[in-house]
Amino acid sequence: MKKKLPPLKALRAFEASARHLSLSKAADELFVSAGAVSQHVKLLEDFLGQALFERRHRQIVLTDAGKRLIPGVTAAFDQIMLSVDKVIENQTDKPLTISAAPSFAARWLVPRLLGFSKKHPDIDVRIDTSSALSDLVHSDIDVGIRFGSGQYPGLHTDFLSCQEVFPVCAPKLIRQGAPLKQPEDLRHYQLLHYDYAQPVTSWPDWHMWMAAAGVDNVDTQRGLRFLEVNLLIDATIQGQGVALAGSISVESALETGELIRPFEMSIPLDFAYYFVAHESKIDQPAIAAFRQWLLDEIGTDHGC
């Protein structure tokens, strides 16, 4: 015969009280009164025929029976929460939320998302653009695309692409201006700068690129400065000058011919792009589908 289980509210009150060793703190967590928690715990003790707490002045401590009971109760509630999370996370009407830096989202991801939507029409996508690192454990963010070292404890990580920096400009800029055949010719053009705001790594500037190219007769401080990559790329496409830009940010514009590389020399960066997701979510159908599409789309020609 199936054994009768104690009331769920009584078990919940016991678990919270045991975790806090306080009836009042358990009451605050459960949004009930301390008296209600005490009644639920007493109900469980009556059901078991054993005291679970020893009441002392302004505190409670677990009895031997309470110590034997709490591990299983805690594990059971944890399993219930995990099961509930899995059901919520696999709702068909819940969009796949992707966190990515604004530049990566606008310049690389969004122009290619139609391909993902055609391949997976049943998966809705929501893009969360932020330069800050998103919490992939306690937020509604499903996956992230991060630019960094690749060291993300507790997260599943896939290398996507290295990043290198090189000059780019609009084709019309060269057609309308002076010849741009040698790095020294940049003295005839306005330089566009990206002032990288993150303190974790340094972004090569025009002075570094000119030094690597062996050029010392160009003023590398003049020109327009931008704190946002998308504004830098837009200004470059409009023909406002020659920019020193990251490879991923200008990949689409180079493919369409909106931008060209007047010189092949580039400076590699220590950081790279990575796909990240929490280990517990990596096998969810929508996340697994996006991960595979992303790896296929970015290809194998972006190595360091």
> Tens digit of pLDDT for each residue in 161-203?
998 999 999 999 999 888 999 999 999 999 999 987 654 456 7
| pLDDT of 128 higher than 70 | yes
Share of the chain above pLDDT 70, in %: 89
| pLDDT of 149 higher than 70 | yes
CATH number of this structure's domain 8-89: 1.10.10.10
Query: Does 195 or 134 have the greater pLDDT score?
Result: 195
Query: End-to-end alpha-carbon separation of the chain, Å?
Result: 65
| pLDDT of 241 higher than 90 | yes
Record: fold of 163-270: D-Maltodextrin-Binding Protein; domain 2 (3.40.190)
pLDDT of residue 200: 45
Whether the CA torsion 293, 297, 300, 304 is positive or negative: it is negative
| pLDDT of 7 higher than 90 | no
| pLDDT of 139 higher than 80 | no
**In the numeric block, which tokens belong to residue 128?**
């969360």
Query: Does 93 or 270 have the greater pLDDT score?
Result: 270
- Domain 8-89 shares a fold with domain 163-270: no
> How far apart, in Å, are the Cα atoms of 221 and each of 156, 195, 228, 232, 273?
41, 12, 18, 16, 29
pLDDT of residue 225: 95
Q: What is the mean pLDDT of residues 242-266?
A: 94
Max mean pLDDT among 101-105, 143-147, 165-169 falls in 165-169
| pLDDT of 244 higher than 80 | yes
Sketch the domain layout of the chain as residue ranges.
8-89, 96-161+271-298, 163-270
pLDDT of residue 176: 87
As a whole number, the mean pLDDT across the chain is 88
Confidence band for 159, pLDDT divided at 50, 70 and 90: very high
Q: Report pTM.
A: 0.65
Of 1-10, 95-104, 141-150, the range with the lowest mean pLDDT is 1-10
pLDDT of residue 58: 78
Query: Does 155 or 211 have the greater pLDDT score?
Result: 211
Residues 31, 69 contacting (CB under 8 angstroms)? no
Confidence band for 87, pLDDT divided at 50, 70 and 90: low
Has domain 96-161+271-298 been given CATH number 3.30.1360.120? no
- Sequence-separated (6 or more) residues with CB below 8 Å from residue 198: 131
Q: What is the mean pLDDT of residues 153-161?
A: 89
